Amino acid sequence: MAQERISGIHHVTAITAEGQKNIDFYCGLLGLRLVKVTVNFDDPQSYHLYYGDELGRSGTIMTFFVWPGGHRGRLGSGQVRATAFSIPRTSPAFWEARLKTASFTGLKSSTRFGDAVLAFEDPDGIPLELIAPAKGGTHTPWSGGPVPIEQAIRGFHGVSLSVERYEHSAELLTRTLGFQPGGEDGNRFRFVADGPHAQVVDVLCAPDGARGTMGAGIVHHVAFRAADNESHRQWRQLLAKERYNVTPVIDRTYFRSIYFREPGGVLFEIATDSPGFTVDETPEALGASLRLPPQYESARGQIEKLLPRLRLPNGSVP
């Protein structure tokens, strides 16, 4: 059985220093749905927030580790340089006006590979982009948010990685993961996965850039999709065979994960599409209460006392 190609991005995980501002921004301003409120599986004293479309489908999920008062990271090589969401072709003017109304400054408009790009930062300083693909998008957005559905975010467009040398990163993306070259623009090299959306990875060659450091305002890792457990097992076997220091399979309740660093230093994950976020909540109740992985449920009372209070979009407190 031949190894399948990666079909696109599963999720992107970043770090925020303030959970409430994070919820207000990604739900209230960008119009994403909060689909899960849980804890960091490796540090149950801190929140892990998940945003996405109606069900948190693969290719739409932006997640955050909440480190209250955490030190600010430094953006540099070996990191995700920008996370890009897809919007309709007719929407850039709407989004520029919406961000300006919310007192955002430093908005930058440009064109990249024929697509309109609006660049800005979230409250933690994480670089974000809204990209209106010239060919349009295929993903249906969440209809229950504060943004009109005809203007709403359609999941991810892709990510930009900053590395000192792009050749080895390019080899991993193409030879191992099955991405196809998608063009060059200066120091930007595009690679496209075999999927309908969330399929773009741009590699920025920055040989003179300082190495980035982890902290608030930085993307922790980017995850790619595996269709099922068997595909996931094959990806781990292949990465181990090619001498990547890949982790054992880890059960994250909503998907299964493996982690490794690509040659430029960016932390990659491969995550399964299933079982998804409705495994412990109904679609209607997604993100409405604190969910804990089974190993921490017996300590719920203690964990709830340690976690800061958050106001969820439905007005409740987890």
Distances (CA, A) of 153 to 75, 110, 140, 209, 288: 25, 18, 9, 31, 21
pLDDT tens digits, residue range 55-92?
999 999 999 999 998 899 999 999 999 999 999 999 99
pLDDT for res 105: 77
pLDDT for res 106: 83
Q: How far apart are CA 77 and CA 3, in angstroms?
A: 30
φ, ψ of residue 129 to 5 degrees: the values are -140, 140
* Pairing verdict, β 267-272 and 200-205: unpaired
Question: DSSP string covering 204-254, please?
Answer: EE-TTPPBPB-SBTSEEEEEEEESSHHHHHHHHHHHHHTT--PPPPEE-SS
Which three-class secondary structure state does DSSP give residue 256? strand
CATH code that applies to domain 9-306:
3.10.180.10
pLDDT tens digits, residue range 225-261?
999 999 999 999 999 999 999 999 999 999 999 999 9
pLDDT for res 316: 65
Domain boundaries, the chain: 9-306
Which three-class secondary structure state does DSSP give residue 13? strand
Dihedral sign (CA 88, 91, 92, 96): negative
Q: Name the region of 67 (left: φ>0; alpha: ψ -120 to 50; beta: rest).
A: beta
Question: DSSP string covering 22-39, please?
Answer: HHIIIIIIS--EEEEEEE
Q: Which residues face 50 on adjacent strands? A: 36, 63
φ, ψ of residue 81 to 5 degrees: the values are -85, -30
The model's pTM is 0.96
pLDDT beneath 70: ranges in the chain: 1-2, 136-138, 316-318
- Which helix (H) or strand (E) segment is 171 a member of? helix 167-171
Selection from 46, 61, 69, 77 nearest residue 164 by Cα: 77
Q: For residue 251, give the amino acid letter.
A: D
